Chain A
């Protein structure tokens, strides 16, 4: 059984209807729970009926997070190493139909990027690529992981979905964690946003976290792209996914992220179901009440004001100083036209860390040692 079998028991429209039918009494029942709420109760917390309860949700989320994770905030940095992509995702800058300059960094170039990044205190790295069997296959990723581990203590990836054996191979290379976002759990509309390329296969993508669990990665990151479909319903299916994964793959941590499309002036993809900051915070708190243990991550897609003010309210992990272009750390000027999406918090890592401290938290750059992994013992 995989998550596909679980999700098949639900109807998108029925879930949407139930979320919107939630009453204040449903919200209060969920909020009075000691311990984690169930996915059914999560529906009430993500509903419009919960909006007047946001302050209470934020306080609970804050208290749980501080007790469980302590007065700390983890920091990491993404490293884009290839923007070759064979997919046509309608919202993405790497879409193969976009006539942008493509590049895949060589191992020497990756090392140069790592050296530039190690000018900052980062020790956790996230490797990012587009999907390209030719340029970013598992051998390339494995080699890149090995290169980065000469500079970092923990390397994770956000790349195309792969088979369990590929993940085992990458674990042997020192891989720690994998982030793979479903974008939308709406199976019927998924093809509208992913018309071509391997990513058009909804089910293969949906079952990726199962394959990651089988391969025994340390952490699985899930999430949906806010703005494609009704965000409350997608939030429910993400929550259900977390609940399923936490119970089935008991050795693996879960992380949830909130990439958000926003309306903008000009041509390009406009979100169908935008969510504002208040609703994003509602999601953060609802996930925390669903799982005390799930890591919650906010990237530099969100602006400094929002990131600073949500640090105490459930978030456990943030990126900083991100460049979304291959080669962007060692030579940003030469590569900025390659950006996947634009960064809304362009503060330096040190400035973000200073803000973390100002909010009463210790910035944690290192929470792993490569030598603690089986791959180090050879």
Chain B
């Protein structure tokens, strides 16, 4: 069976999901369950980690689901490390999605702070999922620092613009020794399919599902697309032809020599 291993965890679904922007917690729950996702990220700023009645957390209790707390909102490595430690204690998980974007507009990840926090957290036993720009060198640096995977963006968070960073994602996928999860910017299921066809190990999708007119059906569409993309990747697509096959080749005269 085709599975994905990140850190010590094995996933059979390659679609990771998020919890923001839904019109209600029940729609969120239904959509996430329909997506078949086994990993859902939740912003530490949105939930009350000390309250077991928290509205969002209490809708994420499906036995298949694992929580991936994220540090969205922090501006420095120091703040991220502190938030991660509290999350580990309260939510009993070593998983942490490291998001350090001091820019509140495009939410562009800060590479310097992210690398520094990743080093500290990995040494401290965390399974670190760092969110970063589609920067091949930074991916290697994070890998060296102990990241369990890398999560380069396809496009700015929430932009639904698809894989605008495609060429850099291709390099990252080619070079990476840890799983590559394309995060952010995936707008429609075909973007997700493309990421998997290119060899990404998984995708994380939030806005495209949450802000869709029908989030539950959109979640199903993403599930199908991710499966199709992965299947296509494993099936080794035929190479696209570099040239047209001319019916009267210009070099055929050589055969007569």
Say which residue of A251, A361, A362, A369 sits within 8 Å of B83 (CB atoms). Answer: A369
- Contacts A252-B104, A372-B74, A377-B82 aside, 4 further interface pairs with beta carbons under 8 A come to A71-B21, A71-B23, A246-B105, A372-B79
Which among A62-70, A157-165, A336-344 touches the partner chain?
A62-70
Say which residue of A66, A72, A369 sits within 8 Å of B44 (CB atoms). Answer: A369
**Are A377 and B78 in contact, CB atoms less than 8 angstroms apart?**
yes
List, sorted by A's number, 23 A–B pairs whose CB atoms are closer than 8 Å: A66-B211, A67-B211, A68-B158, A70-B22, A70-B210, A71-B22, A71-B23, A72-B22, A123-B48, A218-B104, A250-B102, A251-B102, A251-B104, A252-B104, A253-B104, A253-B105, A292-B105, A357-B24, A362-B22, A367-B45, A367-B46, A371-B83, A373-B79
Taking CB atoms and an 8 Å cut-off, the chain A residues in 71-89 that contact chain B are 71-72
A134–chain B nearest beta-carbon distance, Å: 35
B112 at interface by CB-CB < 8 Å: no
Instruction: Compute how far the CA of A218 lies from the CA of B20 in the bound complex, rounded to whole angstroms.
Output: 20
**Are A374 and B46 in contact, CB atoms less than 8 angstroms apart?**
no
The 8 closest A-B CB pairs, nearest first, are A70-B21, A71-B23, A253-B104, A293-B105, A251-B102, A377-B82, A368-B45, A372-B73
B76 at interface by CB-CB < 8 Å: yes
A25 at interface by CB-CB < 8 Å: no
A15 at interface by CB-CB < 8 Å: no
Taking CB atoms and an 8 Å cut-off, the chain A residues in 173-194 that contact chain B are none
A358–chain B nearest beta-carbon distance, Å: 11
Specify the chain B residue showing the minimal Cβ separation from A361. Answer: B23
Instruction: Compute how far the CA of A246 lies from the CA of B104 in the bound complex, rounded to whole angstroms.
Output: 10
**Are A374 and B76 in contact, CB atoms less than 8 angstroms apart?**
yes
B residues lining the A interface (CB < 8 Å): 20-25, 44-49, 71, 73-76, 78-79, 82-83, 86, 102-105, 158, 160, 207, 210-211
Instruction: Compute how far the CA of A153 lies from the CA of B45 in the bound complex, rounded to whole angstroms.
Output: 9
Collect the chain A residues with CB atoms within 8 Å of residue B211's CB: 66-67, 70-71
Collect the chain B residues with CB atoms within 8 Å of residue A68's CB: 158
A360 at interface by CB-CB < 8 Å: yes
Collect the chain A residues with CB atoms within 8 Å of residue B24's CB: 357, 362
A residues lining the B interface (CB < 8 Å): 66-72, 123, 153, 218, 246, 250-253, 292-293, 357, 360-362, 364, 366-369, 371-374, 376-377
Collect the chain B residues with CB atoms within 8 Å of residue A250's CB: 102-103, 105
Instruction: Compute how far the CA of A327 lies from the CA of B56 in the bound complex, rounded to whole angstroms.
Output: 33
Instruction: Compute how far the CA of A293 lies from the CA of B101 in the bound complex, rounded to whole angstroms.
Output: 15
**Are B158 and A368 in contact, CB atoms less than 8 angstroms apart?**
no
**Are A251 and B46 in contact, CB atoms less than 8 angstroms apart?**
no
Instruction: Compute how far the CA of A361 lies from the CA of B102 in the bound complex, rounded to whole angstroms.
Output: 27
Collect the chain B residues with CB atoms within 8 Å of residue A253's CB: 104-105
Collect the chain B residues with CB atoms within 8 Å of residue A373's CB: 79
Say which residue of A72, A357, A371, A372 sits within 8 Å of B21 (CB atoms). Answer: A72
Most buried by A among B24, B49, B105, B158: B105
A261–chain B nearest beta-carbon distance, Å: 31
Instruction: Compute how far the CA of A143 lies from the CA of B142 in the bound complex, rounded to whole angstroms.
Output: 41
Most buried by A among B46, B48, B82, B104: B104
Instruction: Compute how far the CA of A90 lies from the CA of B203 in the bound complex, rounded to whole angstroms.
Output: 57
